[in-house]
Chains A and B, each alone.
Chain A
Amino acid sequence: MACRAEADAKALVDGIAQAVWETDARGIVVSDSPAWRRHTGQSLADLLDRGWVEAIHPAERRDVRRRWRAAVARGSSLAIEARLQGKEGGYRWSHLYLVPLYADDGSIRNWAGMSIDIAARKEEEQMLRQSEARLQLLAGELQHRVRNILAVVRSVFSRTVEGERPIEEIAEHFRGRLDSLARTQIILAQNQAGLIDLENLIRDELLSVGVQDGPLLSIKGPDTKLTPVQAELLALAFHELTTNALKYGALRASGGRLDIGWTTNIGYRGNCLLDFTWTEQGVPAIPVRPGYRGFGMELIKDALPYRLGAETQVEFLGGGIRCSITFPLPEQDGSASTG
């Protein structure tokens, strides 16, 4: 019966473990373990005495040796995780167990060692850690973006309330700018770390005020992608141009006409440049454009050059306003750095 139980126990251990081995009472390997040799590729000579420790990854070897000795000295079992060399080279994470086996008189007769492969679990843990690190980074970037946009809104607000204008007008301007920033945030959120389509950005702005394609509006240009930073500022610029056109320009006057167009060209440094123009025609001359001189003009003439390295020009021609914006484009392959 005893023999049967021992065979069962051995079958159980063999089923679970990669390798089992045996040491004497001092924790020294004195007999062969074919399973260990099969698994690690060590020879019998490698394995004997304390040689088996050499099959442990150098990073964990000292620690395993130290704790193994301590466990033997204490006479208590040990469980430790370490990478174990494989027959075909490389290391796999294993859980190593050392258990004392007792003689009838209660003294330790010898030690049984066992290793269980935990590579899959370690890999999952590693992936979880990586995913957690990514999430943490993303949360940090999101927080940064939220705080930054609040700071921008704060500045936009102070500029909008500058000057002596009726409160209704100020409120309307601020709401419009806030809505434009909000629309861009939605587009950016939908394109996490990606590039934003220029034409969509323009159509989104025009659609928000109910302006659609027709014989008096043309939007024409090649497929063009913008970075999030470019999209954020340009959307605000399109908003200012649209608001102005609705109040004083081509989108207000009957017979007014708006052409929005762009081309991409190679700059002198070999980089890709966008040449964008917003041209209004058929607008009766209006001597002053009060609401427009301030924020919108500063945005196009100063903020776009500062932030995007753009060259911009705003002209008031006979038939209406003409705005041109030129700036370097990102690589159009779909990857973008986050701003």
Chain B
Amino acid sequence: MGRSLAGKHILIVEDEYFIATDLARALEAEDATILGPFCDLALALASARDNHIDVALLDVNLNGEHCYPVAELLEDRTVPFLFITGYDRDALPERFRSAPKLTKPFSTNAVLREIERLAEN
């Protein structure tokens, strides 16, 4: 089955290098355009503000900082995003508790499927 991620702009915010680059490689293989990956809140915020984004992948804990400001900014811009985290849902703030989320460790395929779903809506 062919995927429909070609040309989509995907923001990756993930502080673990290997996880971030695995995601970037898998998405590049689908001909998506990658923004990032970013391991730093300030850079991620600037990119989320200034670029066209179809879907964003957000690691919740960025080297001790939470990614929620990025999620809020994306929500204001009505950009769909997917949390990728080792935290349970009830550890997320009320506002984001029903947001799409994949629990680590995840398979790259599961992430691609989820991004596809979010990009379609």
Contact = CB atoms under 8 A, between A and B. Distances in A.
Contacts of B63: 229, 307, 339
Contacts of A140: 87-88, 91
B4 interface: no
A40 B70 CA distance: 52
Interface in A142-164: 143-148, 150-156, 158-159
B119 to A, nearest CB: 23
Interface string A201-226: 00000000000000000000000000
Contact of B64 (A150, A158, A307, A339): A339
Interface residues of A, number: 24
A303 B16 CA distance: 8
Interface residues of B, number: 22
A145 B16 CA distance: 12
Nearest to B84: A151
A5 B39 CA distance: 77
A170 to B, nearest CB: 17
B72 interface: no
B61 interface: yes
Interface stretch (B27-35, B44-52, B74-82, B100-108): B100-108
Contacts of A303: 17-18
A202 B63 CA distance: 23
Given A151-B106, A306-B39, 12 more contacts: A143-B88, A148-B16, A151-B19, A151-B104, A155-B16, A155-B18, A155-B19, A155-B21, A306-B17, A306-B20, A339-B15, A339-B63
28 contacts: A140-B87, A140-B88, A140-B91, A143-B87, A143-B88, A144-B85, A144-B91, A146-B86, A147-B85, A148-B86, A148-B104, A150-B104, A151-B19, A151-B104, A152-B18, A155-B16, A155-B18, A155-B19, A155-B21, A156-B18, A302-B21, A303-B17, A306-B39, A307-B15, A307-B16, A307-B17, A337-B64, A339-B64
